[in-house]
Amino acid sequence: MPDKSILRHSDFEQDHNTWYYKMFYLLLHLFLKDGNEYNLYLDLKDSTSNEKVLELKRILNIANSDGFVIKNAQQVRSHEVELMQVTDMLIGSLAYLHRGLNSNQGKMNVLSLIEKTIGKRPIFSSRISDEKYNVLVWRPKA
């Protein structure tokens, strides 16, 4: 999401937290494969968001009742989980690029490595069928 300031939460009777979990749903629903069981580990947002994590699990399981199964959904502190730290670094670098920034050399180095690895600049959404690495650039409807 390049610019969160253009979101119109009131048009959809939601707050930013609700929008956040809707985005998780849209993302996960695309990539979870039928016949598999999953455990979701989401970064801890605040003391009340555990209810939203459990609701996300419930809705995903209902929406795909004949396919994948979400066995567990829980919040974790990203600073305690190394894989979450790597994920935060990658997503943070991509968000940096999509906000049109370029003064942080560390993030630019990560972006350069991503570009070299995937063979293209990650400024557009990849195909959902791409394996190994996907970039999804979400833009709200006008």
pLDDT, one tens digit per residue, over 51-67 is 999 999 999 999 887 78
Identify whether residues 93 and 69 lie together within a single domain: no
Identify whether residues 99 and 31 lie together within a single domain: no
* CA nearest neighbour of 2 among 118, 110, 140: 140
Query: φ, ψ for residue 13 (rounded to 5)?
Result: 50, 55
The pLDDT-based confidence of 1 (bands split at 50, 70, 90) is: low
Last residue of a domain, one of 55, 76, 97: 76
Identify whether residues 7 and 69 lie together within a single domain: yes
Residue 2's pLDDT is: 62
Distance CA 97, CA 48 (A): 31
* CA nearest neighbour of 24 among 63, 82, 77: 63
Identify whether residues 84 and 102 lie together within a single domain: yes
Identify whether residues 72 and 83 lie together within a single domain: no
Residue 56's pLDDT is: 95
pLDDT tens, residue by residue, 52-110: 999 999 999 998 877 899 999 999 999 999 999 999 999 999 999 998 999 999 999 99
Distance CA 23, CA 43 (A): 14
With a threshold of 0.95, does the pTM exceed it? no
Residue partners of 20: CB distance under 8 A and separation at least 6: 45
Identify whether residues 96 and 44 lie together within a single domain: no
